[in-house]
Chain A
């Protein structure tokens, strides 16, 4: 809910823009989670606070100026190099640095989504958070928005096409492949995620039948014990090792799950315990490359290729 003041400021800005409308270049309107942002021209100086967006921009070959510090997927490790200005963290942007940089565009999303209001006061900002009700749809929409902004539609469409073919092929086979359970491990403890949750892709777009039907859509999943895994007895166990994802060496998920109770499950006996690529599921989930990695990995698991 924008305050009256910002609404008034927006109106003023709009009026000003209309008054001195001397469009040397075509304005670009970007639709995003919080409405639309109008940019005077194709942005050159871009600051990115969302790993999915960074993944997409990197895949499309769009150079960025600054990124948030913190854990990165291996494929984006080069962005931790000093030549990319560190701009604070996903949760705590360095407003001073951003203000001083005067970027043409700031991209937030997911973890940094709540900082949209503050950043939008400094620079043109777009929020590319995915929609929990339609994760895959909104992620593809975000990829297309970025592609359109930088004139990379053709390349993006080709890649999205490949992803969609992969998803369709998994979706055709997964329902016959047995039931699946998605668990996340961190600090030696476990939570389970079901359809409609943060990792609901596995049951939604990818079509695996849920082994546990009651799991709600909470962002942090449901805390479970090993007995829960033994009881639901999934044919597929997808495991996300959060500690590995953020580069903390905790107890590896594999080791945590390698116990008497999990070894009884159908998933363990059939060798269908899949350690999902943590970078693609946790860090940059929804990015152009991350989606392809996800599709490739799950397809390989279904084919029995490890």
Chain B
């Protein structure tokens, strides 16, 4: 007999787990090289599959945390200025210290993502009216301002194609030894799981959370730090992945509700599964060439997003 907190989640979890296994197997089997060659499997396929699982789970979890903290269903790193700020950080550190190790670049991107996200939350707090569409719109506008600054700097310094590689997620050059930074995203996902109950309560709003005895400020700060770091790590290693953090948490919430302790494993698994699916599609559509996963996710994710928008009743806003 499952504990009460897991009731209703188990069947969904089982289906998801099975789907994830199938997709991971597909990701291991699909590609240009000969999968029978041990090098191809161990040096290329396995790392790529792992990277997809880690990045997918991380970005979906970052999305669900952002949604709770901003108390809005349509917020995620790419609609809160987080992703654009991380990219700006990457650009600046690449210009100022091109030879810096990737860890340093990632830290710069994290700091920048953190600043952008905090700015977004500050702006939200100052807004008198916060209905469900103005919040993401403000985030998108903020991201647009930061993004245009990046574009201007990149244009002036001949870095536009670099900018493109961070803006469009792509796993085509993932190999053994070149993706391990993403394990950091996995660790942070686990940390988020540990904080799940607190983040859920923080999602009830500041006053409610304080009444329940939660240190609201610290919880939000921790949650935002997790989101910024996961986003920065992902952008530094494989590039931005749009829509994932938006679509997956909403679909999971429909099936399993808003208790993060219950839904977070499902969000992580669905995020990994959806990203695997999109990347395998990108490898197959123009075989033997690749379509970057960011592009595929843009198509699939925006379609899912429209479905969500049209099917939602206002009760969930």
Contact residues of A with B, CB < 8 Å? 70-71, 186-190, 192, 212, 214, 222-228, 230-231, 242-243, 246-250, 256, 259-261, 264
For A260, the chain B residues whose CB sits under 8 A away are 39, 43-44, 175-176
Q: Which residue of B lies closest to A242 (CB)?
A: B161
CA distance A260 to B46 in the complex (A): 14
Q: Decide: A226 and B175 in contact? CB cutoff 8 A.
A: yes
Q: Decide: A261 and B173 in contact? CB cutoff 8 A.
A: no
Contact residues of B with A, CB < 8 Å? 31-34, 39-40, 43-44, 94, 98-99, 157-159, 161-162, 164-165, 170, 172-173, 175-178, 286, 288-292
The 5 A-B pairs at the shortest CB distance, nearest first, are namely A227-B33, A187-B165, A249-B98, A225-B172, A260-B43
Given contacts A188-B173, A190-B172, contact A250 B162 (CB under 8 A): yes
Given contacts A189-B170, A248-B158, contact A231 B288 (CB under 8 A): yes
User: Per a CB cutoff under 8 Å, which of B44, B157, B286 touches A225?
Assistant: B44
CB distance from B50 to the nearest CB of A (A): 15
CB distance from A51 to the nearest CB of B (A): 14
Given contacts A189-B165, A223-B292, A224-B290, contact A231 B32 (CB under 8 A): yes
Q: Which residue of A lies closest to B171 (CB)?
A: A225
Q: Decide: B44 and A261 in contact? CB cutoff 8 A.
A: yes
* Given A214-B288, A247-B158, A249-B98, 10 more pairs with CB closer than 8 A: A228-B289, A230-B40, A231-B32, A231-B288, A242-B161, A246-B158, A248-B159, A250-B94, A250-B162, A261-B39
Q: Decide: A223 and B289 in contact? CB cutoff 8 A.
A: yes
Q: Decide: B162 and A223 in contact? CB cutoff 8 A.
A: no
Q: Decide: A228 and B288 in contact? CB cutoff 8 A.
A: yes
A-B contact count (CB 8 A): 90
CA distance A233 to B99 in the complex (A): 31
CA distance A247 to B95 in the complex (A): 11
Given contacts A189-B170, A249-B98, contact A259 B290 (CB under 8 A): no
CA distance A247 to B33 in the complex (A): 33
For A230, the chain B residues whose CB sits under 8 A away are 32-33, 39-40
CA distance A91 to B289 in the complex (A): 30
Q: Which residue of A lies closest to B44 (CB)?
A: A227
CA distance A227 to B178 in the complex (A): 15
CA distance A222 to B288 in the complex (A): 9
For B173, the chain A residues whose CB sits under 8 A away are 188-190, 225-226, 256
CA distance A260 to B178 in the complex (A): 12
Given contacts A223-B289, A224-B172, A264-B39, contact A187 B161 (CB under 8 A): yes
For B159, the chain A residues whose CB sits under 8 A away are 248
CB distance from A40 to the nearest CB of B (A): 37
CA distance A306 to B170 in the complex (A): 34
For B161, the chain A residues whose CB sits under 8 A away are 186-187, 242
Q: Decide: A189 and B172 in contact? CB cutoff 8 A.
A: yes
User: Per a CB cutoff under 8 Å, which of A187, A225, A256 touches B162?
Assistant: A187
For A222, the chain B residues whose CB sits under 8 A away are 286, 289
> Quick one: which of A212, A226, A250 has the most chain B CB within 10 A?
A226
Q: Decide: A223 and B175 in contact? CB cutoff 8 A.
A: no
CB distance from A271 to the nearest CB of B (A): 20
CA distance A192 to B286 in the complex (A): 14
CA distance A226 to B283 in the complex (A): 13
CA distance A249 to B96 in the complex (A): 11
CB distance from B241 to the nearest CB of A (A): 16
> Quick one: which of A187, A230, A250, A259 has the most chain B CB within 10 A?
A187
CB distance from B297 to the nearest CB of A (A): 15
Given contacts A223-B292, A249-B98, A250-B162, contact A261 B40 (CB under 8 A): yes
Q: Which residue of B lies closest to A223 (CB)?
A: B290
> Quick one: which of B99, B162, B172 has the most chain A CB within 10 A?
B172
CB distance from A188 to the nearest CB of B (A): 6
CB distance from B177 to the nearest CB of A (A): 8
Q: Decide: A261 and B33 in contact? CB cutoff 8 A.
A: yes
CA distance A186 to B161 in the complex (A): 7
CB distance from B182 to the nearest CB of A (A): 15
For B31, the chain A residues whose CB sits under 8 A away are 225, 227
For B99, the chain A residues whose CB sits under 8 A away are 249
